[in-house]
Amino acid sequence: MSVKEEINKRRTFAIISHPDAGKTTLTEKFLLYGGAINLAGSVKGKATARHAVSDWMEIEKERGISVTSSVMQFNYGGYCINILDTPGHQDFSEDTYRTLMAADSAVMVIDAAKGVEPQTRKLFKVCGMRGIPIFTFINKLDRDANDTFELLDEIEKELGIATCPINWPIGCGKMFKGVYDRQKKAVVTYSDTEKGTKEGETKHIPIDDAKAVEEAIGKERMDILNDEIDLLDGASDSYDLEAIRAGKLTPVFFGSALTNFGVEIFLKYFLEMTTTPLARRSKGELIDPVDNAFSAFVFKIQANMNKAHRDRIAFMRICSGKYESNMEVKHVQGGKVMRLSRPQQIMADERKILDEAYAGDIIGVFDPGIFSIGDTLCMQGDDILYEGIPTFAPEHFARVRQIDTMKRKQFVKGITQIAQEGAIQIFQEYNTGLEEIIVGVVGVLQFDVLKYRLENEYNVEIKLDPLPYEHIRWIVSAETELDKIVGTSDMKKIKDLKDRPLLLFINEWSVGMTLDRNKGLVLSEFGTE
């Protein structure tokens, strides 16, 4: 197969959801269809002995949750699929956001009884920032669900994206019979499936065959469905692949990941509609994945994934061309040529050494401490520099200090290294003369991870005193001087490691007040690395 064919069959996406909406269950079903696993339940064990795919750190094992993300690759229907696993726990970190930077599209799982939830909103915002296609899977139709039209309305209003249902549920709860395929104009019914297997009988019945439809779903359901189809045809946005690919319209699917209703039909349509690996911007120019030789960018760095190895792994997304074993590449930021030896694909507790990989794929490379998040790798003669990954606004802050004052050196080293990996952000007081470090995280779980890692890897005990701030803003107006900013009484001035000034606020109201009081001040929720 040519490099072009290899790249064009790749589909790289992330599945996002609020915890418990069914992201893991849906991922498992995809893996089952791809033959990558044999039994559902092997992706994540919740607080049980079952092994988790990304169960790297002890803390994850202790709590039965997954903190880090990994990648799953499998083949299905002629496609080579890379699913980027984003942590599903309610506390997530910047890794979750960064993972979205490496994806070409996102599947958004929504619980039909809960609708749009806080984390769906947050993740959605990041997808929106990149304009990647978003596919909506409304899950758990085998339980009582909210009104279908209201769910669509909620997505449109809360997330500000137009919706286009590709299939439509036939009943819900115990009366959930299957879905109506609007493109093929067919009723798709399912027989009950054993939990955890993909077997079960699927029937496709043309809607025009009223007799067969009535037999399958009953007269009452059929009448309701026909009314709903008419309503939908008149009211919903029409199918527009260009708008979908631009992230302006989300195709909506309904189903039940648990019972497999509507899952395979979703996967098939999704793979047809989503994009091949997207071109990325370098110095204002788009780098075509097929027409260029190997290039990649680092989106995540993870240390000590395996205690026995004490290694640090840089995860990179290949943006163009082909990687071949032992290839020599240029690390652009470091200005050095290096050999990419033994890159790995990391799935479950296994690490597979790769001989080749293509644009769209994710590889993990041993990092002797030279990579930073956002770094570019390319061939020696090429001049590529991918645009940086934004720093996402932490929402929780704490003052941190080491308990044993003699261990200041280890403490600073440890916390700086962990910050370089991007797990936390560290800040300093501005003009107070205090040496204390302020740490900011996207999800509070990262505080525990920090404490745990400092103790276990650097032998430093720390104390964290939570601070009340929830909003951070980078100052982007060039001429603004931090000293001159007149803020509200609850505003705090700090600086980051690069000495850039920042402001902390307790609430949005203070952000608005400060903007009002300082003409010309421009604040941003995102910094750039």
Interface with ligand G4P (CB under 6 A): 17, 19-25, 46, 88, 139-140, 142-143, 256-258
CA atoms of 466 and 86, how far apart (whole Å):
26
Q: Which is nearer to ligand G4P, 23 or 331 (CB)?
A: 23
Residue 48 CB, shortest distance to ligand G4P, in Å, is: 8
Task: Report the nearest approach of ligand G4P to the CB of residue 138 (Å).
Answer: 10
Closest CA to 178 of 170, 214, 387: 170
Least distance (Å) from ligand G4P to the CB of residue 78?
27
What's the 3-state SS for 346-364? Answer: EECCEEEECCEEECCCEEE
CB of 182: closest distance to ligand G4P in angstroms?
A: 21
| b/e burial code for range 422-446 (CB count within 10 A of at least 16 → b) | bbbbbbbbbeeeeeebbbbbbbebb
The nearer residue to ligand G4P, 83 or 523, going by C-beta atoms, is 83
Q: Which is nearer to ligand G4P, 50 or 219 (CB)?
A: 50
Query: Is 120 or 425 the residue whose CB approaches ligand G4P more closely?
Result: 120
Residue 123 and residue 105: Cα distance in Å, rounded? 12
Pick 17 or 302: Cβ nearer ligand G4P: 17
> Shortest approach of ligand G4P to residue 85 CB, angstroms?
10
Shorter beta-carbon distance to ligand G4P: residue 17 or 236: 17
CB of 257 to ligand G4P, least distance (A): 4
Rounded Cα gap, residues 297 and 258, in angstroms: 36
Smallest gap from Cβ 338 to ligand G4P, in A, equals 37
Q: In terms of CB distance, is 23 or 407 closer to ligand G4P? A: 23
For the CB of residue 188, give the shortest distance to ligand G4P in the complex, in Å. Answer: 16
284 vs 279: CA distance, rounded Å: 12
In angstroms, the first-to-last Cα distance of the chain is 38
Kindly tell me which of 140 and 317 has the beta carbon lying closer to ligand G4P: 140
| Cα dist from 453 to 59, 102, 448, 483, whole Å | 9, 26, 8, 36
Give CA–CA dist 391/95, Å, rounded: 11
| Contact by Cβ (8 Å): 415, 454 | yes
Distance CA 24, CA 55 (A): 14
SS3 content of the chain, % helix, strand, coil (to 5): 25, 30, 40
Starting at the edge strand that comes first in sequence, how are the strands of the sheet with 202-206 ordered? 167-170, 178-181, 186-190, 202-206
Query: Does residue 72 sit in helix, strand or coil?
Result: strand
